[in-house]
Chains A and B, each alone.
Chain A
Amino acid sequence: MKHPGPLFTLLAGVVFAVGIGIVDLASGTGAAPVAGTASAAGAAGAPTTTAPPAPPPPATSEPPKPEAPARADYAGRVTGGGASVAVSARDGYAIAYVCDGKKLEAWLEGVAAGGKLDLKGAPNAVLTGSFDAASATGTVTVAGKTYQFTVPTAKKPAGLYRATPKVKGKAAKVGWIVQPDGSQVGILTTDEGSTAAPQLGLGAQATATVDGTPVTAEAISGLTGNGGF
């Protein structure tokens, strides 16, 4: 065979990819309930390579959990009630917002797949947890404070909203969480700092009056795919 080097290079890569794929499957890192899972390794470089069949998932003593939905919205208060959190997940990606309605807030984004949440946001905000068909649960750290939460699914008009109005001619940002019980909490952030957000009117459109001007808020919903999805 002439010039075999490049073939060996490709082959080495395929072998390595297959190895990682086997470890992924064997360690049960959220092996998805999809028939295509076993092709994970083969797809990484060699369409002709067939990955070995997935080993049986490690036995667990936990009862089977309801399957995590691909698209879902959650909203509610953290344990203890010091803040609220909303999580919108869609097809592996999630946006979350945490706020206390006074000063503390954070927008986070990241991975939501296999029933697990792993989100980050500035500055130094981290949210980890899990979600299923009924609720999202986990831990969120914002500005050095850590909260536990278990929040239910949110059906419209409950959920997460944001708006980007102008205040004194400068760009501002508002986030609202509308709770499943209809109450709401939000923060308006401008150059000068954060304050409680004005009331969000929930009609056909979500609207609020910021700095004397009506603004329309955008729902951020994984279910409907609005706002950043």
Chain B
Amino acid sequence: MAAPATGGRTAVALVVPLVAGAAVSVVLGVYGGLHTPTGVAVNVAGFSGPQSVKAWLATVVVVLALVQFGSALAMYGKLGGGAPAWVAPVHRWSGRLAFLVSIPVAMHCLYALGFQAFDLRVLAHSLLGCFFYGVFVAKMLLLRKDGAPGWSLPLLGGLVFTALVGLWLSASLWFFTRFGLIF
């Protein structure tokens, strides 16, 4: 699968998604750093506060990301045999749903809290958040490139997944362990 394509075409196929993704990460980080956090943003009714909303939405995203991981393994034949026809649509739509569900969380982070670095957890979360959307954009754009090397899509997909799990650990899990499983 990792047969190297001719260097030039490979580079061209990779460069646009990676540059676009890097730009998104940097813009998010710069905005989060320059924008004065408002401390509040629109809230979702039915929860005790914005933190619990975010923790649960992020948990939904992680569950969908696990579906992503499983369906990706199936599509690459890693679960033995050929993947059933429904796997690809499941992968596509669970990914779309995960992305959309993540948006309110990220908007609250960015608008109400901004890029912060007052401890290691928060710094890691801020960096991962910027990285996540950058690498997600790169992965989405890479899907459209036919000349990209076979390893590039699993690599970016894996980075998206890893960043998301890191984000969840550094915020949702932290929240749940401190305040309990509150809604």
Given A6-B141, A30-B38, A118-B39: A111 touches B113 (CB 8 Å cut-off): yes
Decide if B41 touches A228 in the complex (CB within 8 Å).
Answer: no
Closest Cβ of chain A: how far from B18's Cβ, in Å? Answer: 15
Q: Determine whether the beta carbon of B143 is less than 8 Å from that of A3.
A: yes
Residue-wise, chain A 180-211 has the 8 Å CB interface mask toward B (1 for contact) of 00000000000000000000000000000000
Cross-chain contact A2 with B34 (CB below 8 angstroms): no
Chain B contacts of A4 at CB under 8 A? Answer: 144
Chain B positions within 8 Å of A, measured between CB atoms, are 23-24, 27-28, 31-32, 34-42, 49, 51, 92, 95-96, 99-100, 103-104, 106-107, 110-114, 116, 118-119, 133, 137, 140-141, 143-144, 146, 178-179
A residues within 8 Å of B by Cβ?
2-7, 9-10, 12-13, 16-17, 20-21, 23-24, 27, 29-34, 36-37, 39-41, 43-45, 47, 70, 90-93, 111-116, 118, 120, 122, 228-229
The 9 nearest A-B residue pairs measured at CB? A113-B39, A43-B31, A30-B38, A6-B140, A92-B37, A32-B36, A113-B37, A114-B39, A3-B144
Contact present for A114 and B37 (CB under 8 Å): yes
B40 to chain A, nearest CB (A): 5
Closest-by-CB residue of A relative to B104 is A20
Chain B residues lying within 8 Å of A93, measured Cβ to Cβ, are 116, 118
Cβ–Cβ contact A112 & B39, under 8 A: yes
Pair A7/B140 contact, Cβ less than 8 Å:
yes
Main secondary structure of the interface of B (DSSP, over half): helix
Task: With A5-B92, A20-B103, A20-B107 as known contacts, state yes or no: A10 contacts B140, CB within 8 Å.
Answer: yes
Question: Would you call A113 and B179 a contact (CB within 8 A)?
Answer: no
Complex contact B143–A6 (CB within 8 A): yes
Chain A residue at smallest Cβ distance from B23 = A47
> What are 30 A-B contacts with C-beta separation under 8 Å?
A3-B143, A6-B140, A6-B144, A7-B144, A12-B96, A16-B100, A20-B107, A21-B107, A21-B111, A24-B42, A29-B40, A29-B112, A30-B40, A32-B36, A32-B38, A34-B34, A36-B34, A39-B35, A40-B111, A43-B27, A45-B24, A92-B37, A112-B39, A113-B39, A113-B112, A113-B113, A116-B39, A118-B40, A118-B49, A120-B51
Distance to closest chain B CB from A140 (angstroms) = 16
Given the contacts A13-B99, A91-B116, A44 and B106 also touching, CB distance less than 8 Å: yes
Please indicate the chain A residues that have their CB under 8 angstroms from the CB of B39 in the complex.
30, 92, 111-116, 118
Bound-complex Cα distance A6 to B140 (A): 5
